[in-house]
Structure 1
């Protein structure tokens, strides 16, 4: 599994290792037992979860006590720096034409 925040790889042995409710990423210290790290997490679904029986979790990036949590295996890219891209788009949009 990869950390949802910093994309650090976290090794889990299938069937033996569990992600505890209060476990943190060794790289960035963010919550591992959070919706963003779950295999059921999908923003396209109601409450961003494909598990229909799970309770609603408001903050998807914080620790939670969901019993349906399963470590996700999707590769996560570290958060992009939005300012650089946005700045260049704004400059292109408002660029004076001669």
Structure 2
């Protein structure tokens, strides 16, 4: 079909155009599996949240966000020091997943009706997260022009 108005390839092309034979050197033929990681080298991978690495492992209350010690969260009667909420609950567990069956990734677990209430699940593991270093706030400038210039440094 050489009398087309536009030269983009479309559903009417048979696939044997001259552009197919001039395939780029790095292209892989269709039907071959991709390499793990999309074929990228580890040096090309994104570095994550800035240049700072995670600083510590922390366990926080799901209700108020208060930092808790992991040892106290393992007890059945553990409570948050900030808001008094139960800590041995499904919402504080590593295996909790709202999209999974019975909202737990562990197979064969009994169904718990109230996920935010204390329970005696034997599969409970406190959900620990990586805490990142907080950015240091810029010193407050007394001069408005200096404060404006500090925004672009």
TM-score (norm 1): 0.67
1:47 is displaced (CA, Å) by 1.1
Matched, 1:51 2:109: no
Change beyond 3 A, Cα 1:57–1:22: same
Listed one character per residue, the Cα deviations across residues 60-94 of structure 1 (whole Å, up to 9, x for unaligned) are 0000000000000247xxxxxxxxxxxxxxxxxxx
Q: Which runs of 5+ in 1 are unaligned?
A: 76-98
* Residues in 1 aligned to 2:128 and 2:77: alpha-carbon distance in whole angstroms: 20
The CA RMSD over aligned residues, in Å, is 1.7
* Distance (whole Å) between structure 2 residues aligned to residue 29 and residue 2 of structure 1: 13
Q: How far is the alpha carbon of 1:51 from its aligned partner?
A: 0.7
Give the superposition deviation at 1:12.
2.2
Relative to 1, partners in 2 of residues 1:18 and 1:26: Cα closer, same or farther, differing over 3 Å? closer
TM-score normalised according to structure 2 size? 0.44
Partner of 1:11: 69
Gaps of 5+ in 2: 1-58, 131-153
